């Protein structure tokens, strides 16, 4: 008894399953694009948040240092006034040292203030630009989201059609044949059937999936179509070119 019809049914089922695999791939790629877009927006928001914190910290330090500078200036003023009241050189020298120390501290703080002011100007300028940049990134993210939702909706429709087509095929398969098909698909993934093709450069026949040589005896059995023949390497069901191979729905 020829197995031509069984091969035709298996190839039709395989076409549907490959189509379902393609839908799953498209869905995964679409979700990955959306995740990447959302991650980019979240990452940029975190950058904006960090820069705002840097600016807040700089402004806070600025205020603190201004108070310290004022404190040192008051010390200088106080010690300068006291210098007119001292009666010994020792007291005069001690006050002068305190004045020099206060002026030194004040000078250091003023240098730090200058650094902070430059940093604040830089961060304020960045903050102004970030608002526009964030708006652009959020707009791009929304565009990707809309595109992905459209792709997922299209995939859902195709999946529904293919599932319905696959469900209609099930009744035509015997349990042993379907079990073997599913077993190979589970083990190998993708297509459980493989066409016997000519090796690159000509000569011997090979499995179209794993590209391992198919013995002449196996090719003859495949041509007879009296029984299922399997690749001795990958265990896929082998068929020849003259076996009809439907296109995926």
Q: What percent of the chain has pLDDT above 90?
A: 64
* 20: its two tokens: 């379902």
- Assess whether 74 and 144 both reside in one domain: yes
* Residue 201 resides in a domain: yes
How far is the C-alpha of 249 from the C-alpha of 107, rounded, in Å?
80
Asked whether residue 13 is domain-assigned, the answer is no
Predicted confidence (pLDDT) at residue 247 exceeds the cutoff of 70: no
The answer to whether position 130 is within a domain reads: yes
At 93, phi and psi to the nearest 5?
Answer: -65, -40
In this structure, the number of other CB atoms found within 10 A of the CB of residue 192 comes to 24
Please indicate, yes or no, if residue 3 is contained in any of the structural domains.
no
Q: Is residue 131 part of a domain?
A: yes
Whether the predicted pLDDT of 245 surpasses 50: no
Pairing label, strands 193-198, 237-239: parallel
pLDDT for res 185 = 94
The number of domains in the chain is 2
For the segment 111-143, what is each residue's pLDDT rounded down to a tens digit?
A: 998 998 998 988 888 888 888 899 999 999 999
**Domain of residue 114, residue span:** 19-170
Same domain, 194 and 133: no
| Residue-level pLDDT at 246 | 46
Same domain, 136 and 219: no
77 part of a folded domain = yes
Residue 152 resides in a domain = yes
Taken as a whole, the chain contains a residue count of: 249
Question: Is the same domain home to 206 and 99?
Answer: no
Task: Indicate the residue among 170, 194, 216 that finishes a domain.
Answer: 170
**Mean of pLDDT over the chain:** 91
Mean pLDDT of 171-180: 92
Same domain, 206 and 98: no
Q: With bands split at pLDDT 50, 70 and 90, how would you rate the model's confidence at 1?
A: low
Q: Among 170, 193, 219, which residue terminates a domain?
A: 170
pLDDT at 241 over 50: yes
The predicted pLDDT at position 244 comes to 47
Query: Model's pTM, two decimal places?
Result: 0.71
203 dihedral zone (left: phi>0; alpha: psi -120 to 50; beta): left
Q: What is the CATH number of the domain that holds 93?
A: 1.10.287.1490
Q: Are 122 and 189 part of one and the same domain?
A: no
pLDDT in tens, 36-83: 999 999 999 999 999 999 999 889 999 998 988 888 888 888 888 888
Q: How far apart are CA 111 and CA 181, in angstroms?
A: 79
Q: How confident is the model at residue 166 (pLDDT cuts 50, 70, 90)?
A: very high
**Residue closest to 7 by CA, chosen among 228, 232, 230:** 228
Strands 229-230 and 205-207: unpaired
E strands in the chain: 193-198, 205-207, 229-230, 237-239
Query: 107 and 33 in one domain?
Result: yes
The reply to whether 96 and 194 lie within a common domain is no
């Amino acid at each position: 008894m020829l197995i031509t019809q069984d091969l035709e049914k298996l190839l039709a089922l395989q076409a549907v399953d490959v189509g379902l695999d393609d839908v799953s791939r498209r869905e995964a790629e679409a979700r990955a694009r959306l995740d990447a877009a959302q991650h980019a927006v979240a990452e940029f928001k975190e950058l904006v948040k960090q820069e705002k914190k840097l600016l807040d910290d700089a402004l806070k330090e600025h205020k603190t240092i201004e108070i310290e500078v004022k404190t040192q200036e008051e010390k200088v003023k106080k010690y300068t006034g006291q210098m007119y009241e001292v009666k010994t050189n020792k007291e005069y020298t001690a006050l002068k040292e305190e004045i020099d120390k206060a002026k030194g501290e004040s000078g250091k703080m003023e240098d730090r203030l200058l650094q902070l002011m430059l940093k604040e100007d830089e961060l304020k300028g960045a903050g102004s630009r970030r608002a526009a940049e964030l708006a652009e990134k959020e707009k791009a993210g929304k565009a990707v989201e809309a595109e992905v939702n459209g792709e997922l909706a299209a995939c859902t429709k195709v999946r529904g059609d293919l599932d319905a087509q696959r469900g209609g095929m099930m009744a035509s398969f015997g349990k042993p044949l379907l079990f073997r098909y599913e077993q190979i698909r589970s083990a190998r993934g993708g297509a459980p059937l493989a066409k016997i093709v000519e090796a690159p450069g000509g000569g011997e026949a090979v499995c179209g999936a794993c590209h391992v040589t198919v013995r002449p005896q196996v090719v003859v059995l495949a041509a007879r179509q009296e029984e299922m023949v399997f690749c001795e390497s990958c265990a896929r069901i082998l068929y020849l070119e003259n076996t009809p191979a439907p296109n995926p729905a």
